[in-house]
Amino acid sequence: MATSVIKLKAKEGQEAALEDALKRIVAASNANETGIRFYQGFRGGAAGEYWMLESFQDLAALKAHTSSAHFLAIRPELAACLDGAPETIRLSDL
Amino acid sequence: MATSVIKLKAKEGQEAALEDALKRIVAASNANETGIRFYQGFRGGAAGEYWMLESFQDLAALKAHTSSAHFLAIRPELAACLDGAPETIRLSDL
């Protein structure tokens, strides 16, 4: 598996736009990719805090995701809503 | 969904025992429960750092998990390997 937990922070006032972009990227990825084990976005406990939980079957599936038309289309929109860089925690299988 | 990200730290020397307990609780839960969307354990980046990614269909499925025979049997063994309390980050659906 290729698994990451990613913490995102929305710019103040951009929470709704970020949620909308996350929902669309989650829906498009789950509808169009075959190598996803789990790919969902969530609201965290603090205001403006969001988390992506991503687990792909393997590195090829992760690469297919990050090079997909839907990802490349929505990513700039999502990035524009972020306050700072995402905090990515890469995990490895037991 | 009822979703959490849980960070665990193994006591020094208990890493293998913790990994073994995590693998068994993950296998038993996925084999015996119907309300799991994703339930997997991972190694983190630092020595002795582990993460559980847990997403259940709803609170009833989470309750079925934490009251299951397999969870109750393995939990004390798992807890004995931990250095400090788990850090649980509860997430909510977008």
Complex confidence, ipTM: 0.92
> Which CATH architecture group holds A2-91?
2-Layer Sandwich (3.30)
Flag whether residue A85 sits within 8 Å of chain B, measured between CB atoms.
no
Provide the shortest C-alpha distance from residue A4 to chain B (in Å): 10
Mean pLDDT of B3-30: 97
> What pLDDT was estimated at residue B11?
98
Predicted model pTM:
0.94
Domain locations in chain A? 2-91
Provide the shortest C-alpha distance from residue B64 to chain A (in Å): 21
Give rounded-to-5 percent helix, strand, coil for chain A: 40, 35, 25
- Which tens digits make up the pLDDT trace of A13-69? 999 999 999 999 999 999 999 999 999 999 998 999 999 999 999 999 999 999 999
Flag whether residue B88 sits within 8 Å of chain A, measured between CB atoms.
no
> What pLDDT was estimated at residue A30?
98
Q: Cβ contacts (< 8 Å) between B91 and chain A: which residues?
A: 42-44, 51, 53
**What number of C-beta contacts closer than 8 Å exist between A and B?**
67
Using CB atoms, which residue from A19, A23, A94 is nearest to B42? A94
Determine the Cα–Cα distance for residues B64 and B31; give it in Å rounded to an integer: 13
Contact between residue A16 and residue B63 where contact means Cβ atoms under 8 Å apart: no
* Percent of chain B residues topping a pLDDT of 90: 98
